[in-house]
Chains A and B, each alone.
Chain A
Amino acid sequence: MAMSDLQHPDPNMIATDGEDDRDQPLYKTRDKVYPKRVSGYFRNLKWFALIALLAIYWVVPWLRWDRGPTAPDQAVLIDMDLGRAYFFFIEIWPQEVYYITGLLILAAIGLFLATSLFGRIWCGYGCPQTVWTDLFMLVERHIQGDRNARVRLDKSKWTLEKIWKIGATHLAWIGIAMATGGAFVLYFNDAPTVVVDVFTGYASLAVYVTIASLTFSTYLLAGWGREQVCTYMCPWPRFQSAMLDDESLIVTYEDWRGETRGPIKRKNLVRGEVPETGHCIDCHACVNVCPTGIDIRDGLQMECIGCGLCIDACNEMMDKVGFPRDLVRFDSIQNTQLRAMGKATHTRIIRPRTIFYAVILTLVASVMMFGLLNRSVLELNVLRDRNPLFVRLSDGDVRNGYTIKVLNKEQATKTYALTVTGITPTQMQVIGLEPNQDGSFDLDVAPDRVGSFRVFVSAAPDSLDGDATPFEFKVTDRKDANSITYDTVFAGPKTAH
């Protein structure tokens, strides 16, 4: 190495261990990927996932679920104005947002479990980025033709035909993107109503902004971003290797059988001779179909989303040339090595790692299920007045003010009896209500609403225990005796004794 190289390192060059990487710049222009059409088992799986997932996305907001006249009849709805989330038989209030935490934990553990079992099937089949990119590529192929036609089209001069083809592709993409953004708002509004509002111009600004931003991001990520989102933006590929072990199923190339790769010699085929080279005929079919543009023969790599399309492509080729299938296959690294040694393979689904994930998954799911099944339908919150802490009345008594909030989570109007225990009030008032014979008050709360009441409690100073006397409010459902208490304090002067 010349001395001058050491003295003047180019800031744009990255220094690595390998000599060959020395000149690799930090910034790399994207090599556009032109995935070729392919058919086979994994492609069919991917079509199925695509149709199923898109159908779920666009159909679910239209499902109805009868909750009675006091609640919306949309099966899945997040009502931001009122602060309610409905999911079939489940209804969640804002203070129960921890269920979402549980849901996120379930999703994460589920992802870990699936990855340890089947590799990156989420990336290859389930992730919205994959699904929408797949859909966009389908549209692209229908308008511009398959791989070779698209490469030619991109290289050709701008003709009327090229303008038309590229323009139509982008228009179709924008159309899909708008339908995507449009469907998102259905989950936050009554679907039939908001659709009419959107087209008649009566929907809220938030709705239009949401549609516009999701339309833009869908178009950008699925049309332009594609594999760059997975490679550069998404954190998941960076640490998914932590979930994998030798027994995880991944897309893998059997190099013991494929190497030394090389073009097939016709005379070998004709004579039925075993070729001197490996089974890989170096046709690049696996590379050409890859949606992220990598070569699976380089082994498991971060860019691989595990979709298995290369398997379909390779099998098609193997069938044509008469070699056994599954040169690229969906299997564990361990099995590949066993096969290379000529031993019998075995696939263990149940191993410490999967057991661990499965146990956590079951645990979190059970806790959430228990929480949901035992969800209280009645809650009580008491806000004590702090300004002033207490009021001296003309007869020397001390009065405290409270704002009581009763949460009625049932779809029926409820009447609750309000009482206090732990203190002997000389007087108790609820603004706007008359006391019952026994001194309790009847609080009416509308279905699925919070009832707010102003309550004043007066007590004689000598009945108080210093400047803070603990006591509790209690509300009892008049019908089913379901009750709940709230501990609070009664503030008084320091010299109350």
Chain B
Amino acid sequence: MPTNVEKDQVSGRETTGHEWDGIKELNTPLPSWWVYVFWVTIIWSVGYWVVYPSWPTATDYLKGTFGTTNRTQLHETMANVAAERAPYMERLAALDVSEVVNDPELLNFSMAGGKAIFADNCAPCHGTGGSGNPGFPSLQDDAWLWGGSLDAINETLHVGIRWDANEDTRLNDMPAFGRDGLLEREDISDVVQFVMGYSNRATDGDAAQRGAIVFEENCAACHGDNGKGIQELGAPNLTDAIWLYGGDQATLTDTVTNSRRGVMPAWGDRLDEETIKMLTVYVHSLGGGQ
């Protein structure tokens, strides 16, 4: 602190004593109101130490007077949400999924909730909105491997598909006809031509004719004599326009040679009943529900 404060002659104000090339800096302190506010904020911050968890102690930490933390606030918020949903959830629990869709209020609640649940759990494979990806079926069309009724969708969601951890899981196994040496290359080529013939896309009529015999001996047991599939077995319809992995000759050859083994988790092991009901209603409403 300089004892002899120099004053600027023109303005009469004090200078800081700093000088550059004859230009002296005027001492312009922070406005007093600003300084007061600054001190008040410091005093105010002490209040935070008291109210919120703050200082660590030797073994623990100060808990704050009201026990208010972001974590407890989150729990409160979540509890409030649960409380608001509770009446709907109770009704959902009491009703069968086929009855839920007849209650407009529950239907709306389930579709809205199901949409969020779907986005969290199902969309990574089935695509947002259930539009499907190669190998992961579209849930919007009217082709269903294991059935598109409310009950069938509900069951599939519960037990999953080829999900080893669930003993009731939907299970079938198409043999890898080529890889395991069950069919010769020529046979596979023939049967692919035959299958393409269902949708009038066969390119070699003779091969398709030969393939008919191969199909009858190897495929018809699951896919049916007319290739329309058997839903109870999860065997897809080979005559329609929907191909899960692709319907061109190369992909079909690959499928017959190496088989396919799509897997879906058993959501019954992960989600509660009400949540699965909401999901069922949502998936059923996507446009393909039967």
Find chain A residues with CB under 8 A from B241 CB: 392-396
Task: Determine, out of B73-81, B135-143, B269-277, the stretch whose residues face the partner at the interface.
Answer: B135-143
A391 x B237 contact (CB < 8 A): no
Find chain A residues with CB under 8 A from B288 CB: 391
Given A394-B240, A394-B241, decide whether A10 and B11 contact each other with a Cβ distance below 8 A. yes
A1-45 CB contacts (< 8 Å) to partner B: 4, 8, 10, 12
Mostly, the B contact residues are loop
- CA A388 – CA B107 in complex, angstroms? 23
Minimal Cβ-Cβ distance residue in B for A385? B129
Q: Is A120 an interface residue (CB 8 A)?
A: no
- CA A387 – CA B129 in complex, angstroms? 7
CB of A27, distance to nearest CB on chain B (Å): 11
A399 x B237 contact (CB < 8 A): no
CB of B27, distance to nearest CB on chain A (Å): 14
- CA A140 – CA B141 in complex, angstroms? 76
Find chain A residues with CB under 8 A from B149 CB: none
Find chain B residues with CB under 8 A from A208 CB: none
Find chain A residues with CB under 8 A from B143 CB: 393-394
CB of A464, distance to nearest CB on chain B (Å): 15
Residue among A393, A395, A401, A454 facing the most chain B CB atoms (10 A cut-off): A393
CB of A80, distance to nearest CB on chain B (Å): 20
Find chain B residues with CB under 8 A from A8 CB: 9-11
CB of B229, distance to nearest CB on chain A (Å): 10
B249-290 CB contacts (< 8 Å) to partner A: 285, 287-288
Minimal Cβ-Cβ distance residue in B for A8? B10
Q: Is B65 an interface residue (CB 8 A)?
A: no
Minimal Cβ-Cβ distance residue in B for A454? B285
Residues 230-253 of A, flagged 1 when their CB comes within 8 A of B and 0 if not, give 000000000000000000000000
Q: How large is the interface on B (under 10, 10 to 19, 20 to 34, 35 or more residues)?
A: 20 to 34
Minimal Cβ-Cβ distance residue in A for B10? A8
Q: Is B226 an interface residue (CB 8 A)?
A: no
B10 x A4 contact (CB < 8 A): yes
CB of B86, distance to nearest CB on chain A (Å): 22
Find chain A residues with CB under 8 A from B101 CB: 432
- CA A429 – CA B143 in complex, angstroms? 17
CB of B8, distance to nearest CB on chain A (Å): 8
Q: Is B128 an interface residue (CB 8 A)?
A: yes
- From A12, A391, A432, B138 is in contact (CB under 8 Å) with A391
Find chain A residues with CB under 8 A from B104 CB: 432
The tally of CB-CB contacts under 8 A between chains A and B is 54
Q: Is B231 an interface residue (CB 8 A)?
A: no
Q: Is A184 an interface residue (CB 8 A)?
A: no
A393 x B142 contact (CB < 8 A): yes
- CA A87 – CA B40 in complex, angstroms? 47
- CA A283 – CA B141 in complex, angstroms? 93
- From A4, A10, A394, A429, B141 is in contact (CB under 8 Å) with A394
Given A391-B140, A393-B142, A394-B242, decide whether A456 and B287 contact each other with a Cβ distance below 8 A. yes
Minimal Cβ-Cβ distance residue in A for B132? A388
Residues 396-416 of A, flagged 1 when their CB comes within 8 A of B and 0 if not, give 100101000000000000000
CB of A8, distance to nearest CB on chain B (Å): 4
Q: Is A206 an interface residue (CB 8 A)?
A: no
A393 x B285 contact (CB < 8 A): no
Q: Is B131 an interface residue (CB 8 A)?
A: yes
A388 x B131 contact (CB < 8 A): yes
B147-191 CB contacts (< 8 Å) to partner A: none
Given A431-B285, A432-B107, A454-B285, decide whether A392 and B10 contact each other with a Cβ distance below 8 A. no
A387 x B11 contact (CB < 8 A): no
- CA A487 – CA B173 in complex, angstroms? 48
Find chain B residues with CB under 8 A from A385 CB: 129
- CA A164 – CA B104 in complex, angstroms? 65
Given A10-B11, A392-B241, decide whether A387 and B128 contact each other with a Cβ distance below 8 A. yes
CB of B133, distance to nearest CB on chain A (Å): 11
Find chain B residues with CB under 8 A from A401 CB: 140, 287
Find chain A residues with CB under 8 A from B131 CB: 387-388, 391
- CA A454 – CA B284 in complex, angstroms? 13
CB of B141, distance to nearest CB on chain A (Å): 5
Minimal Cβ-Cβ distance residue in B for A461? B241
CB of A297, distance to nearest CB on chain B (Å): 36
Residues 91-131 of B, flagged 1 when their CB comes within 8 A of A and 0 if not, give 00000000001001001000000000000000000011101
Find chain A residues with CB under 8 A from B240 CB: 394-396
Q: A391-B141, A394-B242 are in contact. List 7 more A-B contacts (CB 8 A).
A: A4-B10, A388-B127, A388-B140, A391-B138, A393-B242, A401-B287, A429-B287
Residues of A that sit less than 8 Å from B by CB: 4, 8, 10, 12, 385, 387-388, 391-396, 399, 401, 429, 431-432, 454, 456
A-B contact pairs, 11 of them (CB 8 A): A385-B129, A387-B131, A388-B127, A388-B140, A391-B131, A391-B141, A392-B141, A394-B143, A399-B287, A401-B287, A432-B101
Residues of B that sit less than 8 Å from A by CB: 9-11, 101, 104, 107, 127-129, 131, 138, 140-143, 237, 240-242, 285, 287-288
